[in-house]
Structure 1
Amino acid sequence: MQDISGIPSAGQQLINGYGDGGFRVSGIKYEGSVLVLPEKTLLWDITSIADITVDSLNTFDAEDVKVEILLIGCGTNMAFIDTDIRNACREKGIVIDAMDTGAAVRTYNVLLLEGRQVAAALVAV
């Protein structure tokens, strides 16, 4: 598992590591893909980038979390996100940035520690 470090504020979800089919977020191990919100991490029933739909990202509405940037970790390689998904998020004021999962993890941590309103939807590698 790749180790990532940093010092978050109380309650913030910092991604400590990724790989081996899961993630370690704020010291807790998660198997499979995850949605990491600033103060909560949820399991995400996605196994590949092809599984992502508008509905699979509706969690942000249900959790009543203000997110401006959504990083999508696409797995081992960056992939393009469907225009319908991008448009649905844009209508909610959310900008999507897709990249490989490792880059998404690192970028999420940096933006979180900068105080940005960021979330990550991460496909496990």
Structure 2
Amino acid sequence: MVSQIADGHYKYQVPIDAYGNGGFRFQDMSHIGSLLCLPSGMHKWAITNAKQLDELDFTQIFERSDEIDVFLIGTGKDIAFIDESIREKFREHAIILEPMSTGAAVRTYNVLMAEKRAVSAGFIAIERAE
């Protein structure tokens, strides 16, 4: 049986086991909605569409810039444009920003986690896995 995260936070950063159906599964738990994966753990992320992203959505990433080399952003079913002001903020914090579809971002995140790289990610939930 898969349990759900009650408070929207799991205190460890872990690989993603599955995605789709509007959420994600990891560590025998399920999370409905978008997900932010940081060194401080897995957090709910109030983003539903890449078009609504602004610099404030990345505050937690910038606060931990000394722990993060790469930030993957799964922008949904398709790759979405990330505003230049957001890209510049990532450069200021010396974090590589890699936007891609959510499926590609999940797969890349899992590989980088397995390699013990300093990776974090934001995944916009999608209905159908790719």
Compute the TM-score of the two structures, normalised by the length of structure 2. Answer: 0.82
1:60 corresponds in structure 2 to 61
Alpha-carbon distance, 1:111 to partner: 0.6
CA distance in 2, matches of 1:26, 1:51: 29
SS of the equivalent of 2:113 reads helix
Residue of structure 2 in register with 1:4 after alignment: none
SS in 2 for 1:102: helix
Q: Please give the residue correspondences for 1:4-15 in structure 2 after superposition, counting only pairs within 5 Å.
A: 11-15=12-16
Q: How many residues align?
A: 115
Matched with 2:111 is 110
3-state SS in 2 of match to 1:29:
strand
Q: CA 1:64/1:83 → structure 2, altered by over 3 Å: closer, same or farther?
A: closer
Q: Show the counterpart of 2:49.
A: 48
Q: Secondary structure at the match of 1:43?
A: strand
What is the TM-score of this pair, normalised by structure 1?
Answer: 0.85
Deviations 1:17-49 (A, max 9, x none): 100000112222111001012451000000000
After TM superposition, list the pairs within 5 Å mapping 1:1-125 onto structure 2.
11-38=12-39, 40-62=41-63, 66-125=67-126
Deviations 1:101-120 (A, max 9, x none): 00000000001111110011
- Residue type matched to 1:68 in 2? D
Matched AA of 2:95 = I
Query: What do you get for the CA RMSD once the two structures are aligned?
Result: 1.6
Gaps of 5+ in 1: 1-10
Q: Look up the SS of the partner of 1:18 in the other structure.
A: strand
Distance 1:109 1:37 in 2: 13
Cα deviation for residue 71 of structure 1 reads 0.4
Which one-letter code corresponds to 1:111 in the other structure?
L
Q: Which residue of 2 aligns with 1:5?
A: none
Residues 65, 93 of structure 2: 8 Å contact kept: no
Aligned identity (percent) is 40
Q: Check whether the contact 2:36–2:44 (CA below 8 A) recurs between aligned residues.
A: yes
| Alignment partners' CA distance in 1, 2:30 and 2:66 | 23
